[in-house]
């Protein structure tokens, strides 16, 4: 992977549907393993606790590959 660029996560707002779901890596893996989301449903981007990166990942990769960059403790999921 190339070096990621980061953006601050915007404040959560119930009125703004543009922003994605900010999930821990463990939470997102559960979503994928239980079939709550898949690559046809939206897009996943690696994130930290406070920032989202420009590196997208597939649901299959997250579910099957345990090794992600050390900084990637979270995922931001954007539904279609």
Q: What domain count does the chain have?
A: 1
Residue 38 lies in a domain: yes
Name the token pair of 28.
């997102």
Residue 10 lies in a domain: no
* pLDDT single digits (tens) 27-75: 999 999 999 999 999 999 999 988 889 899 999 888 888 788 999 999 9
> CA–CA separation, 46 vs 27, rounded Å?
13
DSSP labels, 8-27: EPPPP-TT--SS-EEEEHHH
Residue 52 lies in a domain: yes
- Residue 18 pLDDT: 53
Residue 39 lies in a domain: yes
Query: Which residue segment(s) compose the domain that 22 sits in?
Result: 17-79
Residue 2 lies in a domain: no
Residue 44 lies in a domain: yes
Residue 55 lies in a domain: yes
- Residue 16 pLDDT: 45
Q: How, if at all, do strands 6-8 and 42-47 pair?
A: unpaired
Q: How confident is the model at residue 80 (pLDDT cuts 50, 70, 90)?
A: confident
- Residue 12 pLDDT: 54
Query: If you average pLDDT over residues 21-27, what whole number do you get?
Result: 92
Contacts of 61 (CB under 8 A, 6+ apart): none
> CA–CA separation, 26 vs 80, rounded Å?
22
């Amino acid at each position: 992977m190339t070096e990621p660029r980061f953006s601050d996560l915007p404040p959560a707002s119930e009125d703004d549907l543009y922003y994605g779901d900010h999930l821990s890596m463990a939470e997102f893996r559960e979503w994928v393993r239980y079939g709550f989301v898949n690559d046809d449903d939206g897009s996943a981007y690696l994130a930290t606790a406070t920032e989202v990166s420009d590196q997208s990942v597939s649901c299959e990769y997250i579910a099957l590959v345990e090794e992600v960059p050390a900084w990637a403790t979270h995922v931001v999921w954007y539904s279609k």
